[in-house]
Amino acid sequence: MSATPMSATPGLDRLNGAPADEAIRLLGDVCASRAWIGALLAARPYADADAVYAGSDRAIAALTADDLREAIDGHAVIGRPRHDDPQSAREQAGVHRAGDAVSAGLRDGNIAYERRFGRVFLICASGRGAAELLAELRHRLDNDPASEWEVTREELRRINRLRLEGLISA
């Protein structure tokens, strides 16, 4: 009896072949925007990982302000990963080692950001320490609202890329 050959990208095969409800769940673990999920779902099947990443980039570029807000609302506050979201905790691993002053700065900065922009501060935290995140938060507080939307969109693109890499390599 011969073994069934394994795909080099079983996660991509899973995404391509999953029934719609399962694919929606898989993509929903990457991004909370229904518009983004719908765009990626509609473009299946993908030839390779680069096609998925390009599709994600196009979908993010097309998000309206409401769609982008929906995506942002699916993310934990920097410095307070959700206990029921191990992915968020992994992405914010550098924050756990922060001292009291940096932790307080993140807390205060998040409050100031939400007051200024009306949403949580979104940043690709993977591989970054708490002090670096705090410095970027403080820097971005100086952005005008339109510029900050575009910075946020780029951060979402980076986060989605990392999460898609994880999904595809699974």
Does residue 158 have a pLDDT over 90?
A: yes
**How much is the pTM?**
0.87
Q: What is the pLDDT of residues 48-97, one digit of tens each?
A: 999 999 999 999 999 999 999 999 998 888 766 666 666 655 666 556 56
The phi, psi pair for 77, rounded to 5°, reads -70, 135
Q: What residue ranges do the domains of the chain occupy? A: 10-169
**Residue 36 Cα to chain centre, angstroms:** 12
Specify the long-range contacts of residues 114-117, CB closer than 8 Å, at least 24 apart: 116/141, 117/145, 117/148
Q: Which fold has domain 10-169?
A: UraD-like (1.10.3330)
Residue 25 corresponds to which amino acid? R
